[in-house]
Each structure stands twice: as structure tokens, then as C-alpha cells.
């Protein structure tokens, strides 16, 4: 199954600022995912170890998240 990523550079940058800010204030990955859901986003982990940011509730993939957000 191939993953189609819908990208608009400006929107992706704006969303990534939200994602990074919320990660910085979240005490755990679980809290972070909950906070992102409040903005209408979810994180999907793939079989090959990637983390994809998706919209809720339609699960449209926006971008791949950098690994440093998970460390």
C-alpha cells in the first residue's frame, strides 16, 4: 500500500509549528497525541517505523514527522 502525502509547504510549516510547540509542553507522548487531537490531527505509526501526521477524522496524511520529536 502506498502512502499519498498531501503537502502544501506553507500549511505544513504552520502545522509543524503547532506540533513542535505541543510536543515541547506535553509531559508524555500520550498527552502530546491527545493535545494534537484537539487541533484535529493524529499520529500514525507505520510498519517501517515512520510517524505520519494525519487529519482527523478523515486520516489524510499531511507529512512525515521528524524522529527528533519522539526522543
Residue 71, pLDDT score = 79
pLDDT (tens digit, 0 to 9) for every residue of the chain, 71 residues total?
A: 555 555 666 677 889 999 999 999 999 999 999 999 999 999 999 999 999 999 999 998 988 999 999 87
Tell which residue, 51, 49, 40, has the closest CA to residue 15.
40
> Quick check: is 1 in a domain?
no
**Total number of domains in the chain:** 1
Residue 3 in domain: no
User: Do the domain assignments include residue 58?
Assistant: yes
Domain that holds residue 58: 9-70
Report yes or no on 4 lying in a domain: no
- Whether residue 2 lies inside any domain: the answer is no
Beta bridge pairs of residue 42:
54
Altogether, the residues listed in the chain come to a count of: 71
Q: What was the pLDDT predicted at 51?
A: 95
DSSP 2: P
pLDDT of residue 65: 94
- Identify whether the C-beta of residue 53 lies closer than 8 Å to the C-beta of residue 63: yes
pLDDT at 2: 53
pLDDT of res. 13: 84
Amino acid at each position: 500500500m502506498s502512502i499519498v502525502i498531501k503537502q502544501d509547504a506553507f500549511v505544513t510549516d504552520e502545522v509543524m509549528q503547532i506540533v513542535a510547540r505541543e510536543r515541547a509542553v506535553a509531559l508524555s507522548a500520550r498527552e502530546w497525541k491527545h493535545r494534537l487531537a484537539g487541533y484535529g490531527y493524529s499520529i500514525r505509526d507505520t510498519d517501517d517505523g515512520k510517524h505520519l501526521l494525519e487529519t482527523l477524522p478523515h486520516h489524510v496524511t499531511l507529512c512525515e514527522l521528524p524522529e527528533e520529536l519522539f526522543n
